[in-house]
Amino acid sequence: MSSREVVILSVGGVRFVTRASTLQQFPESRLARMLNDEDREFKLVNGEFFVDRDGVLFSYILDFLRTLQVSLPTDFTDYQRLQREAEFYGLCHLADLLNQEHLLKPRLEILEVCFSLQEMQAFFRIFCSCSTTIESLAEQIIVFTGQQSGQGWNSPFPSQTLLIPLPLERPSHHDMFFQCGTEYSAGDQFVARYVSIKPDNRKLINGTNVLGLLLDTLLRDGFRLISTRTVASEEKVECYSFERMKRAAGLTIMVNQTPGTSAVAQAKRSQVQKGT
């Protein structure tokens, strides 16, 4: 790589190394004009461009130029300051996205697991404020059914028995329902339901074991348990409430490159993640 392709910037005392093509993503920006010595605000000192601006915020500016996407940390709060920096550098499309602060802020996601134990069966209902989380869980949770002889809570999974996967019940986009355990059929026959939660490959019939695995799965996925309560002690109905900060959908600037012309940034925005 030639020295002309590498650009070194010192922004507020923080040193950055990048490609010239990265800074030229938007030819009308001050960073692109800087490379042509068309902006006196940027001083070239010992081969490095010195910029008297915020170096920490410039890291987000540079990330945007590299990816054409606005993706900020969940604890980020300096939207107005970053917008001013984008305006300073002449990145009007980035400034426009930052002006829509509500699209970039992380959202608090609430999830509740209701667990009911009735004799040899356990019932689960999951509610979540984010429909995509329910869809993701629905892909991980599989319920299998089959007819067994003399099976109970603590009976091992019968590897030789044919089990049929069942679809989960989805009353709405924001909740799901499933059950496990055994119920009497005829003679010594029982209808058994097993639950498997990926990536764990076990097929569990005991409701308490399924509950433990489900709660562990949610905790590993970034949820935090905030409360537990017993709704009805006689019916053994328990509810577990969780929350997590869900990163906002990444917003992307679409850039068209036409042969013989400069790149043109369009106002079209695409969400990298879906759902609310």
| Same domain, yes or no: 189 and 113 | yes
87 occurs within a structural domain: yes
Both 52 and 118 in one domain: the answer is no
Task: Identify the burial level of 65 via C-beta atoms within 10 angstroms of its C-beta, where 0-12 means exposed, 13-18 middle and 19 or more buried.
Answer: buried
In order along its 276 residues, the chain shows pLDDT tens digits of 344 689 999 999 999 999 999 999 999 999 999 988 777 778 888 889 999 999 999 999 999 999 988 888 877 888 899 999 999 999 998 998 888 777 777 788 999 999 998 888 999 999 999 898 999 999 999 999 987 665 554 555 555 467 899 999 999 999 999 999 988 665 666 788 999 999 999 999 999 999 999 999 999 999 999 999 987 666 678 999 999 987 665 566 655 544 333 333 343 344 333 334
Instruction: Please state, in angstroms and rounded to a whole number, the distance separating the CA atoms of residues 71 and 60.
Output: 8
Q: Is residue 123 situated within a structural domain?
A: yes
Instruction: Specify the pLDDT at position 71.
Output: 81
Answer yes or no: do 112 and 94 share one domain: no
Looking at the structure, do residues 100 and 117 belong to the same domain, yes or no? Answer: no
235 lies in the same domain as 172: yes
**Same-domain status, 205 and 232:** yes
Residues 85 and 141 in one domain: no
Could you tell me which residues come within 8 angstroms of residue 91 by beta carbon, excluding any fewer than 6 positions away?
26, 29, 31, 61, 64, 65
* Domain-embedded: residue 258: no
- For residues 138 and 55, state if they share a domain: no
Residues 114 and 216 in one domain: yes
| CATH code assigned at 132 | 3.30.1410.10
Q: 83, 105, 127 — which closes off a domain?
A: 105
pLDDT, residue 226, reads: 96
Report the predicted TM-score, pTM, of the whole model to 2 decimal places: 0.60
Quick one: tokens of 218? 């949610």
What pLDDT is attached to residue 268? 38
Any idea what the CATH number is for the domain that residue 31 is in?
A: 3.30.710.10
- Polymer length of the chain: 276
Instruction: Supply the range of the domain harboring residue 54.
Output: 6-105
Are both 99 and 124 inside the same structural domain?
no
Q: Per the domain annotation, does 252 fall within a domain?
A: no
Residues 6+ apart with CB under 8 A from 166: 143, 144, 145, 193
CA distance 131 to 119: 31
The answer on 113 and 93 residing in a single domain is no
Overall number of domains in the chain: 2
pLDDT for residue 161: 62
Are residues 95 and 213 part of one domain?
Answer: no
Q: What is the DSSP letter of 161?
A: S
